[in-house]
Amino acid sequence: MGNLKEVRTRIASVSSTQQITSAMKMVSAAKFRRAQNAILTMRPYSAKLNEIIANIDVEDGVETPYHRTGKTEKVLLVVIASNKGLCGAFNSNVIKEASKRIAYYTEENNAELSLMTIGKRTTDFFTKRTSYVTDSFIDILDKPTFDNISEIAEIVMKRFCEKKYDKVELIYNQFKNSLTQIVSIEQFLPVVTKKDNKTTAPTIKSDYIFEPNKESILKEMIPLSLRSQFYRVLLDSLASEHGARMTAMQKATDNASELLKELRLTYNKARQTAITNEIIEIVSGAEALNG
């Protein structure tokens, strides 16, 4: 009977866990739909903005403080993950990629490295293991509005203009679908010009009339483009997080269902064995009395 009690306890425990994972999956599914709609809506705007800027030829000497060339001696890595776990390899993949970039810049290039972490998981990991973290943002993921995220982008842009950094990279999970998140490294600053970006297909030159002039337009549009890029990356990461958590909770729920089947089968076998033993004892006792 002791074995039956243990199995019943395990069945109750797994059933309770299954209810929790199922509820978490539904919560993540609701958040995922909102995050997915946000990033899919943001991407065309960001792409069109970049297309317009690409058509403003910066190769004829028209540049902004965000266009800078020279030796890369001071690097900032902005590492974006989540505040919570239970989302599969979402956080660990970003941390692994960031660790590789840290080694690349510090060991191979002898660069002066700084880290800006967004999300509790990356903040806790790198704060305990390195001394590179200069800024960390956790609460921003709870209210990912354009204004809130733009404030972080403004901090990075201002420091770049003050030449505290020579290069800024964003490390995050790019959203593809609920099952797939791609760990990406994206250069934020300096701005990549058409001349530098050899992988991009050549843009079609549009017949624009610039008023008042190219330089004034670039000075207005480049900061807007950078803020939009930072916002898009955060939305990408959030959509990836909720998709990864939804998938992880679905798998956990399915695993709980399989485990419950096995436990119930084990319980029924043990119960049947116990009943059979009791019948044998009764029959044996009756035969002994009759004998």
Residue of 38, 56, 58, 87 marked catalytic: 87
Q: Name the 3-class secondary structure at 196.
A: coil
Lowest-confidence range among 44-48, 94-98, 213-217?
213-217
Distance of CA 233 to the CA centre of its chain: 10
Name the pTM for this structure. Answer: 0.85
Domain residue spans in the chain? Answer: 27-246
Q: Is the dihedral of CA 82, 95, 43, 163 positive or negative?
A: positive
User: What are the contacts of 145-148 at 24+ separation with CB within 8 A?
Assistant: 146/227, 146/231
pLDDT category of residue 57 using cuts at 50, 70 and 90: low
Cα 55 to Cα 201: distance, rounded to the nearest angstrom = 12
pLDDT value of position 149: 93
Give yes or no: 161 in active site. no
pLDDT value of position 193: 65
Q: Is 80 exceeded by the pLDDT of residue 206?
A: no
pLDDT in tens, 150-196: 999 999 999 999 999 999 999 999 999 888 999 999 999 988 766 55
Fold of 27-246: Pyruvate Kinase; Chain: A, domain 1 (3.40.1380)
The letter for the amino acid at 22 is S
Q: Is 70 exceeded by the pLDDT of residue 36?
A: yes
Say if CB 23 and CB 254 are below 8 A apart: no
Q: Which residue, among 203, 197, 226, has the nearest Cα to 56 in the 3D structure?
A: 203
